[in-house]
Amino acid sequence: QDGYKEVLQNINHFLIPCLEDEFSIWSALELYSTIHQQIKPTSAAFEDCHLFFNKIPRMNIIPHLLKQLTPHFNFLPAHLYEYKHYERKYRSTLFPIPRAKKPGVRLFDFAQQFHTIIQPAVIA
């Protein structure tokens, strides 16, 4: 267990994904709290910890959840949608998703948002 804690103490930014369901949210919040209580106080490298929603269906309650959770936890406003089409058609990691299809994934928006958050740390 000490080996894991030592590894975690050398991480700058934590990204914790969670699904829209209650169990996933509670699990992610538990990990978030553990990181803030046990890793942050003893880590010289820790900068921040963010939660985000992943595999979100088109019909969702994410705005409602973010309104409730964001005042208490550090959630990224961007989330990643669930796309069964991409899972079936673009499984290969050798060939990227075609540029024309990328906006649907919203991965670029998510990556830009995270890059903006960590950019000051990268420059410093």
pLDDT digits over 82-118, tens only? 766 555 666 666 766 666 665 555 677 788 888 887 7
| Residue 112 · residue 13 · CB < 8 Å | no
d(CA 44, CA 9): 7
Band (pLDDT 50/70/90 cuts) for residue 124 is very low
- Give pLDDT, residue 2: 62
Write down the residue that tokens 């030592």 correspond to.
6
pTM: 0.76
Please report which confidence band the pLDDT of residue 3 belongs to, taking 50, 70 and 90 as the band edges: confident
- pLDDT tens string 8-64: 999 999 999 999 999 999 999 999 999 999 999 999 999 999 999 988 887 888 889
In this structure, what are the phi and psi dihedrals at residue 15, rounded to the nearest 5 degrees? -115, 120
Summary mean pLDDT of the chain: 82
Give the H/E segment covering residue 18.
strand 13-18
pLDDT score, position 88: 60
Q: pLDDT-derived band of residue 79, with 50, 70 and 90 as boundaries?
A: confident
